[in-house]
Each structure stands twice: as structure tokens, then as C-alpha cells.
Chain A
């Protein structure tokens, strides 16, 4: 046995896993520390389900146990399917010792699972590395680029085309000029060697101009963009408001090239478990006999942790109460103290009717191994309230009722399944009474109630249920039934018969269950909170105000998903309709989609024509019309099964269209790959920017395929974070990431791009105009040094500072006004239209820059009468004008003048003059006479008043239209950003303390908040006692019961059909 890195795990290896370890590869479970080769795994990373799942080894292999020698000699051969991405299916055959054993999913532990409650297990690697089902699901990693990047590429191509056009125009013009004018000028304008014809000269001129004008193609732009993005990424990393103290995790921009895309998100695809929810269930409220407990009363100051105060004295040593449990209502404790029988019965039921396994840890503390977290919450609640579930054997349950140990005989266990939506236990209490305790979905349970239940109680309880449901709590109704001995015995006999039956066994058992679970007496209801992460509701609300559509993609159950939808206000009762698509085949799904759409469009359109192809075309045409006509909020809920059909190519468009018109979309029971497919679908067909957020390995594919992937970090599991582009610890930071950082990034980047293009055009096109006056001879207007330094030294820093630091509105206002986010989604701040505006602005500026000096220098003399209309003075004047004009322009563009902006802008101008005077100084000329021919020019030109008059006029003429245009735009069509800026400015003068609006939850009339993360099959395990450790009995006092009750076990053995199970179970008993 040796330690190996995951990368070294190979197919056929036998590896040992320990508790709470991630599974490194797809394994065939050979043996484990638990009896019968059982082991528990948590698949949250794979499918988002948080309940524990059981895997058991083949009995032949489980015998190997922890015997290293025998394991080492294990030489079975597995023949199985090829690697695929189906998480819930596996077929294969193990040939070992001349016998063949069929393998199914139950024997396999998939990579990405976590081993729980099992101290060790051995497994043989079946698939490793990229062949594992997890990796098969993870999709391809793509190189992500932002839409601005793509737009940029197009624009750069256009600019290049533009450049070539200019080159051609000037080249042809040069040919003509050389032919018409230059030809007569040969005395002075000789031909160069090998350049004797005007056509060839034109050709050379073309290339010369390509070189001279190449500054329109913004090469430094890409570098600058990356620098700006890097700056933004650092701001994300540095943001204390995205730092989570709980896990000491700061937000992290893992990709530094996608920042501005954060400001354009239209669709957010969110995982549920661990992303929206904390994956912690807490018992919040209950209604017992028509009375609500657990309401928080007005005097919040009295919030007390009951558990601590009320812990019975004899528990305090063991500290049985779970310290994390909080319940804020004293009255329940009072009722318990008073001995209200209904309350006691209620808690007793909670302590009895479940599938939890108790375990004592090394410190002697009672630990519950829960299969579904909701149950854990309920049992823990009962425990804290004085009804402590202590231990169980296959046929007894021992609880401590307010200090006294009571052992109940477990007579029957009516397991949970998705159809029944309830579970029951039949127990005999020490007094000999037989009781059936049942908990389940209220809709189901209420039908089973006895008519003797008081109407008041029923209506009260159902009111309470609605109330709970409205708050997004998961509810269960609680009821019991007294059974008389005789009736139970009869029923039990029938059950045994049914169990023994060969055909229609399940149906008969179900019938029997139905039979006994009736005439129930309602006790009350529980409300468990699937604890949302902090601030999820606010975040969701504010994101939807920002017109971001949030889709929940979860591997969890439909009920759970819907419940969470309600809990975080994504689904509300105000919604006009909620479509649930749960068809099991393509036709059904199609039909359901059509129906949903029909009701969406009302009577406007009929979908009676069966031809889907025609319809699709029609729809595509009508898409734009339709989207506007649909009013009201709709929600779509679709499960993974239907989704598989809905994603098929012919229905895809229908589905997408419908989904996009709905305010909320919830996809449940989806596989990781489906998550990615949904994301791809929206990404490809909606042309929208998507963001996927998740925390587990099951979200990796989605994170990779979305434009932006966000990983929730700080919890277990790194896959999501490693695949993500941004990571932080809490879902609520998404709001800040998008609305503040994303918006700013987009805003800054767009401003930066606009300015950059403007600047390059203004700078370069002067050469073009000058071409008309210098015989198209590719003469540059500026000094070579100026051309070299302009983009790098004179103008790069101010625009970088703007790109990094600019803010239009501050972060608080960005958060408070999510509507500010919309320009990004609509791509308003930088698009082709904007680009053309910038281009025209640049061309105008270049024209002003040329025309005014041209006019002013035409045949003019200087102050001392010397000619100043020489080329060098002209160049210096124009360069100075240009630097000043673009500096004024950036000053106008900068809306947030930090010290750095000041330093950069003034510094750039100062630098320009410093460098100008240095390069035109006598000293540098006498050292390098050929390189610096402009000697003395700066001094001579810039002491001329008329040169300054030209610079002033050029500046005003270039900038004035921009100012006027902006002023008029702000006045006539103010954007929200403008308004808020104004408001913000006014606010600065008189800053009143702003109270955050209190988050009000809408009351809901939703009937049921039933959701239960429970899985079928656990009842059987419990009653069979398979999952109990005989060698380590939980409570010593129960040993006797265990041994005395073998007959019960034998009875129950008959119920179990799995031969393997019963076979192994016998062994347990013998131990």
C-alpha cells in the first residue's frame, strides 16, 4: 500500500479510500470497513444531491475486507461498457474465481464523490483520468474571449481595410500627381534610382502610406486592454466587500481577460446546492395542534438560544444538544414543560419516524448519520427539544423522552418513495400501544386524515402550511394513527404474504401501505429551512431588476428545486403561470411545450398546425413581435428527463423560445452535461452573454461552456473553482461582481476603446490630409520622434488611468440601481455604431488639426518677420495642437479624477513639452545631428503668439462640438447613469443617512412547500439492520434487546427480497 498522486492512478489499481476523501477515479467497490461491504458516498459534487447514498460491494469481494494480502491477490477481470457520461448507469461483468458477477451502478463509486461515514474502503479502478464519468461530463475547455474582443477583431480588420483603402487612394493619387505635376518638376524632383515611372512610384507610395498610416491600426490597443483588465482583476481580488470572513476567502479573478464581459451578462445559470443554498437544513417552525411555534416575536432582543438554556441537567455532561441548532420561541419549551400531549406526540414522532442512524463519536457525543439533511434537521430539533433519538436496532428505536429512556418496538417501516411522498413507522410503545406515525407531503397526508379531525385544526394547519411555504420553507405534515393489535396483526400478515408474493409484489405492498395509512390524526406540520446562503434573495432580486435572467440548473429533485425557487423569490405567486414540463418522451415533451406556449400567447396565435417545421419558421419570424406581446411573469420548470428531449434539435427552438420568455427557469435532475448543453443552447441561439455559477464538480462543464464561469470557493471541492474564471465564497458576491465590478469594467473598457480609436484616427489622418499638399509623397506631418512617442509616452497613461480608475457612479449607487446594468446587456457603450462615431470624431479632429494650421500658416511671416511657414514649424505646431487636443478630450472623458488621473494627464502634457524641448535643443543636435534635425524649432515656434493662437483655436474647434453634443444629449436623452451622477453630486452636498430598504417577503398563497431530500430504500436498510454495526453497538443497554429480538430480524428477513441482502444480513445477526 503506497501513497500515490491522483495522476498516477491507473486502471486496474486497487486503491484505499478513507473517510471524507474524494474518490480519485471510477472504482469498483471491493470492500469496506462497514459490514457487507457497504459504503456511503455523497454525490453533491456530481449531481448536487446532498443526501448520502449507499454503495455495496459484491458479497464475494466484500469478504476480502481489509486483508491486504488477499486484496493484493485479487485478480478479477471486469468487462464493462465504454467510458460514457451517464452518471446513473453502469453495466459490466466481473469474472473472478471462475464465476461471473454482474455489476451495476450500485457497485461503482464515481470520481468526484466523497466517502462518508465509512472509515475506509477498497476499490478497483475501472476508469481513470479522462475516462471517468465526471470528466466525461466536464466538456471541453474553450478559450474564452469577450464579445468586445471579438468585436475588436472585426473592427481591426475593418480598420485594416480602411488603411488599405487610404493607401490605394493615396497611391493612385501619387501616380497621377507624379504624372501630371511631378513630371514638370523633374529639375528639382529627380527620380530615385530604380524608380523611374509614376506607376511604380504610386506603388511605392502605397506601401509608404501603409507604413505611415499604420498607427490607425491600434497595435498597442491590445496590450493596453490587457493592462486595464489586469487592473480590474486586481480590484476584484482586493475588494473587501467580496471577502468572506467565514472561510477567509477573497474573491479571485482567475482569468484576467474577461472582466468587461461581466458587465454584459444576460443569463445567469446557477447551481442550487452549495451555491444558492448553504446545504444546511434547519428546523425553523412548526405547527402543533393548530398553534405555530417558532415565530420570531417583535422583541428581537429576546432572541435566545433555547437549547442552551433548556438543556436538561443530565444531558449537559454529554451535551447532547446540537449547538448549532437555534430556535427562537420560548413558548414551545413551555408547552413541552407543561406536558401538552400533542406537543409530546409531535416531538416523539419526529424522533421516531425517520431513517437516521445514530453514532457516537470518540468524544462520546451522539452524532447522527443522516441520509437526507431535512430529516437530520427534524431529528436534531426533537433532540434539542428533549426527545432524543438515542439508538436503533432493526426492530427497536430508543429515544430519551425528557430524560427517560423509552424503547419502542419498530413493527413496520413504510418507506418513502416519490409517489407516496410520505413515510411511516409503526411502533409499539412500552405500554403496548401500537401507533403509526407518518410524515409526508401535506397534499398527500391531508387526504388520509380521519374525518374526526377537527375542521378548525385542518384549516389552521393548512393555513400555517401555506404560510411556511410562502416563506420558502420545506414543509411536512405530521400525523399519527392508533392501531389496535388485531388489526395490525392482520395487516402485517397480509404484508408478509405480499412480500412473499412473486408477481405484483410491489403493487400489493403499495396497496397495503395505502390501507394502513389512513384515518390519520393530524398533529401538525414542520417547516425546515433549506438554508439559503446569506443575501441570496437580495442578490436574486437585484439581479432580476438588472434584467438578468436567472436559471437554476440543479441535479436535485423537482420539489426541492421549486422550493428553493420560492425561497429565493425567483418563483412567486404573482407569476401568471408556471409551466412544468415533465414529459417522459419526445412527443409528450413537445406537446407540453406547445401547450405552455399556447397559454403564453393566449388566443393570439394557434398552434394547431401540427407541422413543427413550419411552426418553427413562423416563430422565428415572429420572434421579435412575440417577445413584446408576452406580458406578465412566467416560470418554466423542466426536469432532466424532459430536458433531454427538449434539447433535441427539432424541439430546441421551441424550448428556448419558451424558456427565454419566462422570467424564471428551473431545470431539475439535470446531468452535468445537460447543464452545459442548456448553457450552450442559450449561448449559441440567443447571442447573449451567459454566466454560470456553481460550486461542485457537476458544475464544471457548465462553468466551462458559459461565457463566464464563476466558482464558489471556500468549501470542499476545487473542481468548480479551478475551472472557473472568477471565484468567491458566497453567492451574494455575484451582485457586486456583476453590478459593480462588471459594470465598471465594461464602462471603462468602452470609454477606453472609444477614446483610443478616436485618438488614433485624429493622430493619423492628418497625414492623409497633408498628402494632398505634398504631392502624395508619403511625407509625414510630424517629426519621426513624435510619431514614435505619441502613443507610448504622450497619450498612453491618461487613457490607461481612465480605463482603470474611472467610475460614473459609485459602487453603492451601482448596487442600489441595478437598472444601470442594462446598457451593458444591450451593448450600448461600445458597438459598431459607437465605433463609427469615434471614427467620425477622430476624422473631424484630424481635419481641424490640419485645416486650421494650414490656413494660419499660409504665406504667413513670424513676429520678427522671418518666415515661419516651414515644414518643421508646421510639424511642431500640429503636434502640440494634437497633444493638447487629445489631452483635453481625455480630460472631458474622465469622469472620476483621482490623483493618478491628474498626475497622468498633466504629466503627459508636461512630458511632451520636456521631451520636445530636449529633442530640439542644441546639445542633442550637436551630438546626433542626423537624428534630431529639428534643432531650435520648439523654442522658435512656441514663442510665436500666432502659433499659440492656432493651438487654442484648434483645441476649441475640436472640442467644442463634443461638449455641445454631450450637453444636449444629457439634457435631451439623459441616461440613468447621468441622472444618478447628478443625484450623486447633489447627494454629496447634503448626505442624509440612507436607510436600506427592509427586505419584505411576499406572503404567498402557495399551498404546499413540500420538498424532501429523501430517497427510497433506506427503510429497508434499517429494518434489515444491514447498515448497523453489530460489532460496535451504539448503546450498551440495548445489546440485550438486540439479541432478544432475533425473531424480529428473521421476520423482517422475509421481507427483503434481495437475496444478497438477506444473506449478508444473517451474518450480521450472528455476529
Chain B
């Protein structure tokens, strides 16, 4: 009779810390001396941080102006009214006036905000072709199926840029005018519209297709513009470095928002006399009202904001830190009380023994 177990068992198991489960180990215990200070320290730190964040956020100046235009009020109502039936009339423009009672510390950032716009809807947000946008000539002619129904145009030509995101490009344009001097003529405030997109987006992710005979238009020949665009992609801007897929506005738009209410950077105000900020006085924003939002109860806003070390205005983070910090301290106190009472009890038990 052969017995394999004997043969196997003849070899005694190794006497190593690993096989004998005796590996040296750190065995932390959630003791009061760790947990209580941890809670109090974390609490205090969070409250401190929270206060800092809150005040920083509060110190940021932010001005929002809704220019959607309801049917009865506002300057843009006319355009909005026309919007009722779908697209507003071409080149409908309106103005938005506001006054700054005091100096707006710069640099000032100019955003547009859309609400109720579901850029994060899956059907919408997958509808683009990254290969096409990064300038692959093959993808330019054959957009991915994700782009459907904006894959091929009516004539069967491939749409460039394809997809719903590109098709719905925000096409309102703004200019800011300052009344200088008071009740004098309006002077246009220079808007720096360069560098509003992420560097990687503008330089890596989005590339124009290779030029054909030095011409971008030829590179895009044989493609169609998205149906709702009035002009092809290579005519987005007269600036040759800012046209085609690398047009900053286009790149900004293509970075889809996470939430249905979102802001996108339109321009920085940091040039000329306005580099330090916007002086007090009356201003007017001239809007070229193209983008229809009323159909889905969306709002359009222009926002002027300054920036702190932690970014734009957002009171939430400060408040959240304050709340969590206070909760930490509160819990810390509860734990302390429980701990002390438990200790007493323990001592009694010990003395009983």
C-alpha cells in the first residue's frame, strides 16, 4: 500500500514566519489616545480650513446677469420671443446694461452659463469622434457611428466635426462696453479670448487635419459642416491658429459639463486699462443672440467673476468643511464623555474584583 500522504508529510512544513502566520505585524488599535485627539485635531483643522474657504469664497466677487430674456422683460426679449419657434432670427442682437458701484478687482473672468442643458446626457456626450477631432484624416472622412445622426450630412458627406456636441456649439457672442467717462460714449473693453481652453485640449486632444497645399479649407474638403452651423469649421475664426478643430470656443464647448447647469469661460479681462480690474461705472454687454434655449426652459447668463487661490466662488466647500469639522468635534465630545464614563465603570469593576 502506498500512501502519498506519508511521503508528503515526511517533509515537515517550513518554519518560516510566513507559513506559521507569525509575520511581524503592526496591530493598530482604535484606542482613545489615538481616536480622541484625531477627532479633535481633524475637527479643528477642518473648521479652520472651512472658515478660510468660506471667507475666501465670500471675498470673490461674482456678477451674474441673465440675458435669456423672458417674454415681457429685458432687452433680449425680442430675440427670445423669436426663439419661441426654434432658432432666433440670424444676427439678432441685444444689449445687457449693468453698473458697477465700485471697482471690480481683477483679473476678471467672463463666463457664460447655461442651465438645464444636459451636456452630460449619455446619448449626447458620446456623440463625438475623438479620432476625428485629433486630426486623423481617416476619421475625418469616416466618423464613428456614435456621431449618428450627425455622422453624415444630407448629401452623404461626412460631417466634420461630427456628433451632437459639435452640432450644438454655443454660438452667442459677447462684447463688453464701458461707459467712459460717465454718461459718455461706450468704449469696448478688450476681451482676451486666447487660452480659454485647456492647454492639453488645445494642443493634444484637438488637432486640425494635415493641411492640404497649405490650406485648411482643402483639408476639410469633402466634409460637411454640422447641420446647425452657418459656416464650416475652418471658418470659425479668421485667425488661422484659432480655426478648425482648435478653435478655442469650439474646444471649450467640446469639454462637456458634468452637470446640467454649467459655466464655460468666454474671455479674460486682463488687457489695457482693465488689467487690474473693472473700474466702477456703467457697462453694457452686447449679445449676438443666436442660441435657442427657451424651448427646453434653459437660461443663459453672463458671469463676471474674480478668482482666488482656490478657484472660483463656491461657498459649498467652506460650509461643508465647517459642518464636517463641527461634527468631528461634536462626535469627539460624545466619544470623550462615553470614554470617561466607561473608564469609571471599568475602575469600579476592577475594584469590585
Contact = CB atoms under 8 A, between A and B. Distances in A.
A1049 to B, nearest CB: 41
Contact of B314 (A184, A238, A856, A874): A856
A872 B198 CA distance: 12
Interface stretch (A61-69, A317-325, A921-929): A921-929
A936 B337 CA distance: 49
Interface residues of A, number: 104
A487 interface: no
Given A190-B149, A248-B12, A859 B201 contact: no
A240 interface: yes
A477 B241 CA distance: 115
A984 B27 CA distance: 10
Interface string B106-125: 01010101001111111111
B13 interface: yes
Given A865-B312, A935-B200, A930 B6 contact: no
Interface in B17-56: 19-21, 23-32, 35, 38-39, 42, 46, 49, 53
A858 B314 CA distance: 8
Contacts of A1037: none
Nearest to A978: B29
A783 interface: no
Contact of A895 (B23, B27, B86, B305): B27
Contacts of A182: 118, 121
A964 B331 contact: yes
A963 B334 CA distance: 13
B100 interface: no
B23 A900 contact: yes
A856 B320 CA distance: 9
B317 A855 contact: yes
B92 interface: no
B290 interface: no
A128 interface: no
A1022 to B, nearest CB: 33
Name which of B9, B26, B314, B328 has the most chain A CB atoms within 10 A of its CB.
B9
B118 A940 contact: no
A870 B254 CA distance: 10
A968 interface: yes
Given A871-B120, A871-B257, A963-B35, A936 B200 contact: yes
Contact of A981 (B15, B20, B23, B29): B29
Contacts of A235: 19, 21
Given A861-B305, A896-B27, A869 B317 contact: no
Contacts of B77: none
Nearest to B260: A773
Given A238-B14, A866-B198, A874-B258, A805 B131 contact: no
Contacts of B295: 184-185, 187
Given A249-B9, A960-B328, A968-B335, A181 B296 contact: yes
A898 B312 contact: no
A957 interface: yes
A964 B296 contact: no
A940 B198 contact: yes
Interface string A963-974: 110111011100
B134 A926 contact: yes
Interface stretch (A270-278, A286-294, A629-637, A946-954): A946-954
Interface stretch (A139-147, A774-782, A787-795): A774-782
Contact of A936 (B53, B205, B313): B205
Contacts of A871: 119-120, 125, 255-258
A861 B116 CA distance: 19
Contacts of A188: 117-118, 124, 164, 167-168, 296
A947 to B, nearest CB: 9
B204 interface: yes
Contacts of A982: 29, 31
B320 A867 contact: no
A863 interface: yes
Given A190-B164, A866-B196, A869-B258, A953 B129 contact: no
Nearest to B36: A967
Contacts of A939: 200
A775 B121 contact: yes
B204 A935 contact: yes
B5 A862 contact: no
B317 A779 contact: no
B296 A185 contact: yes
A64 B144 CA distance: 92
A774 B121 contact: yes
B200 to A, nearest CB: 3
A899 B335 CA distance: 32
Interface stretch (A91-99, A695-703, A713-721): A713-721
A827 B157 CA distance: 67
A873 B120 CA distance: 12
Contacts of B3: 718
Interface in A202-216: 208
A946 B310 contact: yes
B319 to A, nearest CB: 8
B342 A972 contact: yes
A971 B150 CA distance: 64
A74 to B, nearest CB: 28
Contacts of B20: 238-241
Given A779-B121, A929-B130, A862 B312 contact: yes
Contacts of A922: 200, 204
Interface stretch (B67-75, B180-188, B262-270, B275-283): B262-270
Contact of B118 (A189, A946, A956, A957): A189
B26 A897 contact: yes
Given A187-B86, A243-B13, A964-B39, A865 B27 contact: no
Contact of B261 (A775, A807, A859): A859
B156 to A, nearest CB: 16
A868 B311 contact: yes
Given A929-B136, A930-B144, A860 B204 contact: no
Contacts of B29: 981-982, 985
A250 B130 contact: no
A629 B121 CA distance: 65
Contacts of A870: 255-258, 262
Interface string B134-174: 10100100001000111000000000000010011000000
B252 interface: yes
A966 B279 CA distance: 57
A465 to B, nearest CB: 42
A509 B125 CA distance: 104
A871 B305 CA distance: 22
Contacts of A621: none
18 contacts: A182-B121, A239-B19, A248-B9, A250-B13, A718-B3, A727-B5, A856-B320, A860-B314, A861-B265, A861-B311, A867-B265, A874-B259, A929-B139, A930-B144, A957-B324, A964-B39, A968-B335, A971-B339
- A-B CB proximity, top 6 nearest: A936-B200, A861-B312, A874-B258, A238-B19, A855-B316, A779-B122
Interface of A: 22, 181-182, 184-185, 187-190, 192-193, 208, 234-235, 237-241, 243, 245, 247-250, 252, 713-714, 718, 721, 727, 744, 773-775, 777-779, 805, 807, 811, 852, 854-875, 895-901, 922, 925-926, 929-930, 933, 935-937, 939-940, 944-946, 949-950, 953, 956-957, 960-961, 963-964, 966-968, 970-972, 981-982, 984-985
Given A861-B305, A936-B204, 16 more contacts: A187-B292, A238-B19, A774-B121, A777-B121, A779-B120, A807-B25, A858-B259, A867-B255, A867-B264, A872-B255, A901-B25, A925-B204, A929-B130, A945-B309, A949-B53, A971-B339
